[in-house]
């Protein structure tokens, strides 16, 4: 153990450059304010200067490493077939001014240069005016439905950074590559249930505006988890459009869809029969009920919905058909003959419902799970009464989907029971891995 006297006589450690920087900054500010304490504005300014000092120190370290190792200069010599030893030694060559946008705001930097112009900074790349973190914040705000002008104002308030709406649009353009990758990713071979639905957006087209349908497919995987399979933009539904969607799904690896649940999408049945001929096409029972009571007197709604319950809760398709015939002959059926007509027109897509027990029926009874997703998307895009182009709509909707599905880590309620029911009906078509 060192003697006490030796400890007392030990030389004080010299302050670091950073310690000296802090001390100098505080003393200068207090002197400017006549000895007054630092304000919150001073603290913000100090943090920015620390950021500046850190980045400049990082750049200096990168250049030191570059000059020491001389890797790029060696490569340059080899490419030019010259003798490396004859190359002039690379040295520092002053600095150049550059302003970058960071989480701390705008920072003015002195970026070091080398004589051979082979230095390529990593921390602050050439021709880049922003540090990665600010991009993430812009995209996050954009994904929550903020307009480019709102984001610009927000950044100005938070960081004192003035960026244009065009700059923000440029940042969000990077999302399109992610959208493309997501839309073309491989899918599972078999999906027990896939829900299809659509929402509408307005997109500028030349001097006018066109209403586009954004079709979504939400698949239930064999493990009970949910996955949005893709999105497709189209002005008009029809068999040819749906055939192209199903063909794309097949090309991405989907070999079989056991049950497709929809809400009266035009051309769906014909397209399924062509591409996935064994798939059961189930219409949404809830939408059938809504369509049935849409134009009847409010005082009859309770009685009519009770009568319709006898149809869709019947144990078999035959029993359901009998209940439908009884409804046609009832007072409600004669008062509202269009209700029975609605069910008869959709009967081919109602019948699959009766192949299953209560757990599968509960799952395919409604398209609520995909409608819930659509509601979250609409919440994000509601500020966009009009998109400038399809890509703008595509990137915002994809970001909304991404944020909405982050916590989809739970399986469908009572999935094992539903899976057993489907296994009895579909046999080997339901491949459990």
DSSP secondary-structure letter at 9?
A: H
Tell me, what's the pLDDT at 127? 72
- Give the separation between CA 213 and CA 120, rounded to whole angstroms: 46
d(CA 420, CA 1): 75
Beta carbons of 220 and 192 less than 8 angstroms apart: yes
Is the pTM higher than 0.85?
Answer: no
Q: What is the pLDDT of residue 21?
A: 64
Beginning with the edge strand found earlier in the chain, give each strand of the sheet holding 226-234 in spatial order.
Answer: 226-234, 208-220, 190-205, 256-262, 280-283
420 closest CA partner among 351, 356, 365, 366: 356
For residues 116 and 92, give the distance between their C-alpha atoms in angstroms, rounded to a whole number: 9
Q: Mean pLDDT for each 10-residue chunk of the chain (433 residues)?
A: 49 55 72 72 70 72 77 52 60 84 73 84 72 69 78 68 68 84 95 94 88 94 94 88 95 96 86 94 93 92 94 94 95 94 93 92 91 90 85 90 81 90 92 71
Strands 226-234 and 208-220: antiparallel
Distance CA 330, CA 178 (A): 56
pLDDT digits (tens, 9 = 90+) for 9-27: 445 555 555 566 667 777 7
Contact 81, 58 (CB under 8 A): no
What's the confidence (pLDDT) of residue 347? 94
Question: What pLDDT shows up at residue 123?
Answer: 64
Specify whether the backbone of 365 is left (phi greater than 0), alpha (psi in -120 to 50) or beta.
alpha
Q: What is the pLDDT of residue 408?
A: 78
Distance CA 178, CA 272 (A): 29
Contact between 171 and 238 (Cβ < 8 Å): no
For residues 311 and 352, what is the distance between their CA atoms, to the nearest angstrom? 14
Query: What is residue 176's predicted lDDT score, i.e. its pLDDT?
Result: 87
pLDDT of residue 8: 47
The whole-number pLDDT of residue 126 equals 78
Burial class (CB in 10 A: 0-12, 13-18, 19+), 234: middle
**280: part of which helix (H) or strand (E)?**
strand 280-283
Kindly list the distances between the CA atom of residue 213 and the CA atoms of 64, 330, 394, in Å, as whole numbers in the listed order: 56, 39, 12
Task: Please give the pLDDT value at position 151.
Answer: 79
Quote the pLDDT of residue 302: 93
Count of C-beta atoms within a 10 Å radius of residue 417:
15
């Amino acid at each position: 153990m060192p003697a006490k006297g030796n400890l007392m006589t030990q030389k004080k450690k010299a302050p670091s450059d950073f310690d000296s920087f802090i001390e100098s900054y505080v003393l200068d500010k207090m002197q400017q304010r006549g000895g007054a304490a630092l304000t919150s504005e001073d603290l913000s300014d100090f943090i920015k200067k620390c950021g500046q000092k850190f980045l400049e120190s990082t750049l200096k370290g990168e250049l030191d490493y570059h000059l020491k190792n001389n890797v790029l200069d060696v490569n340059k010599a080899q490419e030019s077939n010259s003798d490396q030893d004859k190359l002039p030694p690379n040295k520092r060559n002053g600095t150049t001014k550059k302003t970058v946008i960071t989480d701390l705001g705008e920072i003015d930097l002195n970026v070091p240069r080398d004589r051979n112009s082979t230095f390529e900074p990593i921390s602050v790349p050439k021709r880049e005016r922003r540090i990665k973190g600010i991009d993430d914040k812009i995209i996050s705000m954009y994904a929550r439905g903020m307009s480019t002008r709102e984001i610009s104002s927000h950044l100005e308030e938070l960081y004192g950074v003035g960026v244009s709406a065009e700059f923000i649009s440029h940042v969000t353009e990077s999302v399109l590559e992610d959208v493309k990758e997501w839309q073309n990713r491989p899918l599972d071979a078999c999906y027990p249930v896939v829900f299809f639905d659509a929402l509408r957006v307005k997109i500028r087209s030349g001097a006018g505006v066109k209403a586009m349908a954004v079709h979504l497919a939400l698949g239930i995987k064999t493990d009970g988890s949910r996955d949005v399979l893709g999105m497709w933009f189209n002005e008009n539904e029809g068999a040819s459009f749906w055939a192209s969607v199903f063909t794309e799904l097949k090309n991405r690896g989907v070999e079989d869809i056991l049950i497709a649940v929809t809400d009266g999408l035009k051309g769906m049945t014909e397209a399924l029969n062509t591409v996935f001929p064994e798939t059961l096409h189930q219409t949404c029972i809830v939408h059938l009920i809504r369509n049935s009571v849409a134009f009847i007197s409010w005082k009859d709604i309770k009685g009519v919905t009770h009568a319709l319950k006898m149809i869709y809760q019947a144990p078999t398709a035959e029993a359901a058909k009998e209940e439908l015939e009884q409804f046609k002959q009832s007072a409600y059926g004669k008062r509202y003959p269009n209700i029975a007509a609605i069910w008869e027109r959709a009967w081919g897509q109602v019948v699959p419902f009766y192949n299953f027990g209560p757990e599968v029926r509960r799952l395919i009874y409604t398209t609520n799970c995909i409608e819930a997703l659509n509601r979250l998307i609409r919440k994000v895009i509601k500020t966009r009464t009009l998109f400038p182009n399809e890509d703008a709509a595509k990137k915002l909707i994809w970001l909304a989907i991404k944020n909405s599905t982050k916590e989809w880590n739970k399986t469908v309620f009572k999935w094992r029971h539903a899976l057993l029911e489907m296994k009895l009906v579909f046999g080997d078509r339901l491949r459990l891995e």
